[in-house]
Chains A and B, each alone.
Chain A
Amino acid sequence: MLVLEDVHTHYGKIEALHGVSVEVEKGEIVSLIGANGAGKTTLLMTVCGNPQATSGRVIFQGRDITREMTSNIMRSGIAIVPEGRRVFSGLTVEENLHMGGFFNTKPEIRKSQDHVYELFPRLKEREHQRAGTMSGGEQQMLAIGRALMSRPNMIILDEPSLGLAPLVIKQIFEIIGKLREEGITVFLVEQNAHQALNLADRGYVLETGRIRLHDTGKNLLANPDVQNAYLGG
């Protein structure tokens, strides 16, 4: 569904990704783990076309999107939950969701909204509350809900567990598991390697701009190198 072929990305003259190849199949959860500064977010942003890859190809659903505009990519069936949630804090929960379905028709919005409330009953309770006044966990739910509003085929999550309590993280990961059951492909970027790999079908380990390891989630969890570097021995 999503293929990155030998992608190089530069920030100015500095190369942040040195030829990364990643493949995400339809219907699976793929986790990308790596330390701070490994290039995880850069990889995601390259998929979104901001910044664009300097060489290599990004292919989504058989279409080359390497040189597409960000706004076009984001309307073509990919949704991203950006790092740090980034909900519109002055808007209500409902309005935030509507922004997610900006390019859909009213009935479609209504349907996806009900669906999001089903996944996150907590959001329904807070429907008319301003998003900025909610807790971090609720905001993360809203960010995921907002991304789902465009009815994407694939959802990219950037560090959904960042700064959340363990219990809330558990809930969020449960929801991510549910998304797979609904047939949504999930590309998950996490520092929280243990939970991310546990949930994932396959995983990639990114180190200083290169893919170091690539295996099923279970195997990566058992891999001594991964255990040493990311799971605290």
Chain B
Amino acid sequence: MAAHNLKHALFCAIITLVISYPILGFNLESEGTSIILEGAGATTILGVLLAAVIVFLFQLFRDSVMGSLRQLPAINPLANRKPMEQSKRLRLESTLLTLMIIGALIWPFLASRGAVDLATLVLIYIMLALGLNVVVGLAGLLDLGYVAFYAVGAYTFALLSQYYGVSFWFALPIGALLAALFGLVLGFPVLRLRGDYLAIVTLGFGEIIRILLNNMTSLTGGPNGIGGIPDPTLFGMEFGRRVKEEGNTSFHETFGIAYSGEHKVIFLYLIALVLAVITAVAIRRLMRMPVGRAWEALREDEIAAKSLGLSRTAVKLSAFTIGAFFAGFAGTVFASKQGFISPESFVFLESAIILAIVVLGGMGSQMGVILAAIAVTILPELAREFSEYRMLIFGAAMVLMMVWRPQGLMPMRRIHIELKRQE
């Protein structure tokens, strides 16, 4: 029955051998000053052979195996349920969201310091992903240099605090606005570009910013980065053991409680949480406003959008600017959380991860993006024990997602806008 697959299966098995034997079968051992090549033990060779046999068998019976796999979704009890009504779904969603936010508010007081710190990072990624979601998911502009705006936000705060002693709360809007300005400036040259070309140019922009930061040593400290970035204060109360700036008081003294390093971590978490919620709500509003529909219209059909008098320039620039604005937000929080930033934090891999979050979550879907941000940030931490295989697991998870849920964890469900009629 599988005869026609025999040749192909043999070929695959041989490829498996050819690829895996040199990689796994030989070891380089250092003996004093020289390095010698050593053959691997019998178990490794057996393992390689076994892998080849498995590949051979799988390819031989591929049709029936994949056939039975395809039956799997039918087992899923949710597969055949009817889609919920829009109003009901919206209500359920908002209740769930409220519960989640309340839970997120209480949670840090019960969790460990490390967990809260990680959660802050998750929230930063949520902000970033929500911002990129506007550009990629809603406006359909593939931006591979998004991390540049994140860097602008972070460096704005770092530099302002270093040279002018500006506090977090002043730097926050400035950082976001400056990032938005950069988004606007980047927007102009890429207006005429689409798809792959746009991706390449934005990728270049991301690298330009990073290399600039790396080389403007006199201003940014180059690869040494900038340290000593102050923590946010709460109405002039600092969270350090000792007050650093004159006129400020310290948090634990004001409230007469014992000093604990946890206060600062929790405070940062709460700031990140509030900002993430603001980001989510703001973008949700924007999605329902005309500008949100203009983004979608432009994504769906540029010519039709233009024929209705929409200005491609204005619509694209607004998406870039707004996306960049929230990246600047996230960057400022990040700088404050780390206390030290260097260009190394803003490499292309960051852009790729944020984009992966948006794609995994489901383009344009806010809930999906939030879930994906949590998953993508936390999973590698949980998988620390197999640290060597972390990227492997990450990659495998990505491939599986693309096979089973190509539209993301929670595909975007559009909120249909209806005109309220005056009866």
**Residues of chain A whose beta carbon lies under 8 Å from any beta carbon of chain B:** 48, 50, 69-75, 79-82, 86-92, 94-95, 98-100, 102-103, 106, 109-110, 113, 128, 146-147, 150
Contact = CB atoms under 8 A, between A and B. Distances in A.
B421 A86 contact: no
A150 B419 contact: no
A86 B308 CA distance: 11
19 contacts: A48-B307, A71-B311, A74-B309, A79-B307, A82-B303, A87-B304, A88-B297, A88-B301, A94-B416, A95-B416, A98-B417, A99-B308, A102-B293, A102-B310, A106-B419, A109-B419, A147-B307, A147-B308, A150-B309
Contacts of B418: 94, 128
A128 B309 contact: no
A115 B369 CA distance: 40
A88 to B, nearest CB: 4
Contacts of A70: 306
Interface string B107-138: 00000000000000000000000000000000
Contact of A128 (B300, B304, B314, B416): B416
B307 A99 contact: no
B229 interface: no
Contacts of A113: 419
B416 A102 contact: no
Interface residues of B, number: 25
Nearest to A84: B303
Given A95-B416, A109-B419, A110-B419, A150 B300 contact: no
A90 to B, nearest CB: 6
B309 A102 contact: yes
Given A90-B296, A102-B294, A69 B304 contact: no
Given A88-B297, A88-B300, A102 B419 contact: no
Contact of B301 (A50, A73, A86, A147): A86
Contacts of A128: 416, 418
Interface in B404-423: 414, 416-419, 421-422
Nearest to A131: B300
Contacts of A110: 419, 421-422
B306 A50 contact: yes
Contacts of A95: 293, 416-417
Given A88-B296, A98-B417, 8 more contacts: A74-B309, A80-B307, A88-B304, A94-B417, A94-B419, A98-B419, A99-B308, A100-B308
A69 B304 CA distance: 16
Nearest to B311: A71
Contacts of B294: 99, 102
B247 interface: no
B414 A98 contact: no
B408 to A, nearest CB: 15
B88 to A, nearest CB: 15
Contacts of A91: 293, 296-297, 300, 414
Contact of A89 (B300, B416, B421): B300
B41 interface: no
Contacts of B417: 94-95, 98
